[in-house]
Amino acid sequence: MKKDFRKSTVYQIYPKSFRDTNKDGLGDLRGVIEKLDYIKELGADYIWLTPFFVSPQNDNGYDVADYYRIDPAYGTMEDVEELIGESAKRGIGLMFDMVFNHVSTSHEWFQKAMEGDPYYKDFFFFRKGRADGTPPTNWESKFGGNAWEYVEKFDEYYLHLFDVSQADLNWDNENVRREIQKIVKFWMEKGVKGFRFDVINLISKRAFEDDDCGDGRKYYTDGPNIHRYLKELHDTTFGTDAEIITVGEMSSTSIENCYQYAGHDTGELSMVFSFHHLKVDFMGNEKWVLVPADFQKLKDIIFEWQTKMEQHNAWNAVFWCNHDQPRVVSRFGDEGRYWKESAKMLGTVIHCLRGTPYVYQGEELGMTDTDFTEISQFRDVESLNHYQILQDKGLSPSDALRIVQVHSRDNGRTPMQWDASLYAGFTDKDGVAPWIGVNGNHTRINAAAQLEDEDSVFRYYQRLIALRKELDVIAFGSIEPLAVKHPSVFAYRRSYKGEELLVAANFYGKDCEWKTAPDTAGYRQVIGNYKDSSTPENGVWKLRPYEVSVWFKSN
């Protein structure tokens, strides 16, 4: 029976940090198989796995050297086939992460290009430099430095929007698009039921010109052929199977483009990831700074995307966390006194929105940011690059480290905390130390403890996931923002065929009142993060620190 992705929840796994079964310090595919019953108990419908293909691992697998082979560090093709089959037995579909904007410079295509093969050189963007010997444009790589790398053999540069070892593919070349289609069809035939497309809105380049802002993004974001290329991919591959769901990661996208990317009838993707709401603690587009999160901006962005995507019959992926983001309870919640309350509140706000919720491994436990105190503990190439860049700009090593501690992608990449043992159950006690350090709080924040506690963050997420399946209003309802200008409250109403849902959350660690709230006559509370939630009276809600309360009625 076909799943409805609007009633579904996706669980994201970063295999390298999930579970190590062969004691080498790296997570593997057998570790995912081992924990399938845990994911089934949580209630997830799909598992999104970040890349485990053959890769030099310069960007933790997002530098793919072969889309058809499994990196031995993760396992074998037999392991993948077993994982697909065992997941299906539990009613769980597998969603694979496909990185198609670029390939590793170790990939056969790029290696042949470097041999001078004109067929494969046209798979990439090789360009002559300027007369003065400088790169073709002033574009900045996402990981720092210029986005062009010089190849002396050709007296040309190749484009890499990310790491120097990640060469951008030329999607304007039809032969590239045909190869991509072959890859998707291969995994469909293996039984994969979903695809997540990495930075997919960057595949169509507009022009190669200098950018006044320096980063170049206006020349490659949501480019001129992007919708044609996505529709072509849809029509030739995943669009031929109604059971397959897709999500596109959209970097610095516009909402207008997303109406088409994820429109119900546009024939491109099922849904989109957008990241504007996760830049509210940036300074403009600058990530590597320390500024307080802007709560009003957070609400404005989420509500704009919720309401406008609904108006255009398009679908969101809704989320706080992934392998590229800090842990939400550290970012917008409270690691201390109100850790449990804030973790539950943040989960509720996302899971009751219009869109398919994504849970990132450990989020359902309330896992927090790293407790690293030295730069040597970090592994992320972006973080290490920017640690040096910040110092080059004049910051002290300690100030640069503090910024990295807050914003590093490694915050989401520390080992999954299964139990209170030496390595948190990620690997056995007699195994090799994990590839990245375990958070010291795993002795109190771990799956084993929470499975035994009915008041745990895990059990709360389990109820949130079940609630979406039980109440049609959550999956299908319209959304009405409430308390839009309230300095502490995040609230909204969902409506569908006589059903209504009210969600009210206090985003801060002190009591607050919401005096203009709607009347709750005829409603019943369906979930909340305090055992003794008070009933709103005469339209006045009194919310305790990080309290969230969800009320439902059916006419």
Domain termination site, one of 415, 435, 462: 462
Q: How confident is the model at residue 518 (pLDDT cuts 50, 70, 90)?
A: confident
Closest of 225, 203, 212 to residue 137, by C-alpha: 212
Are the C-beta atoms of 471 and 461 separated by less than 8 Å? Answer: no
CA 194 from chain centre, in angstroms, equals: 15
In a domain, 469, yes or no: no
Mean pLDDT score, 484-489: 98
Distances (CA, A) of 151 to 126, 135, 157: 9, 11, 6
Residue 488 banded pLDDT, cuts 50, 70, 90:
very high
CA distance 367 to 380: 19
Q: What is the pLDDT of residue 432?
A: 94
> For position 227, what pLDDT does the model report?
98
Tell me: do 264 and 398 sit in the same domain.
Answer: yes
In a domain, 524, yes or no: yes
- Residue 470 domain-assigned? no
Show which residues are catalytic. 198, 249
Shared-domain flag, residues 416 and 435: yes
| Residue that terminates a domain, selected from 462, 496, 521 | 462
Distance CA 318, CA 333 (A): 18
Summarize the confidence of residues 94-110 as an average pLDDT.
98
Q: H or E stretch including 503?
A: strand 499-506
pLDDT per position as a tens digit, 537-550: 878 899 999 999 99
**Statement to judge: residues 158 and 176 lie in one domain:** no
Q: Is the pLDDT of residue 425 over 80?
A: yes
Under the banding of pLDDT at 50, 70 and 90, the label for residue 213 is: confident
CATH at 142: 3.90.400.10
* pLDDT tens, residue by residue, 254-281: 999 999 999 999 999 999 999 999 999 9
In this prediction the pTM is: 0.95
Q: Return the pLDDT at 174.
A: 98
Distance CA 181, CA 177 (A): 6
Residue 149 lies in a domain: yes
pLDDT, tens digit (0-9, with 9 covering 90-100), for 33-81 = 999 999 999 999 999 999 999 999 998 899 999 999 999 999 999 999 9
What's the chain's average pLDDT?
Answer: 96
Instruction: Report DSSP state, residue 409.
Output: G
**Are residue 84 and residue 140 in the same domain, yes or no?**
no
C-alpha span between 505 and 546 (Å, rounded): 7
For residue 193, is pLDDT > 70?
yes
**Percentage of residues of the chain with pLDDT beyond 90:** 92
Give residue 539's domain range: 478-554
Q: How far apart are CA 378 and CA 36, in angstroms?
A: 29
Q: Is the model's pLDDT at 533 over the cut of 80?
A: no
| One domain for residues 482 and 376 | no
Residue ending a domain, among 168, 197, 218, is 168
CATH number for 257? 3.20.20.80
Does position 1 have pLDDT exceeding 60, yes or no?
no
CATH number of the domain enclosing 483: 2.60.40.1180
Task: Examine the domain organization and report whether 156 and 281 are in the same domain.
Answer: no
In the numeric block, the tokens 């050709």 are attached to 154
Strand runs labelled E in 277-374 = 317-318, 356-360
Quote the number of domains for the chain: 3
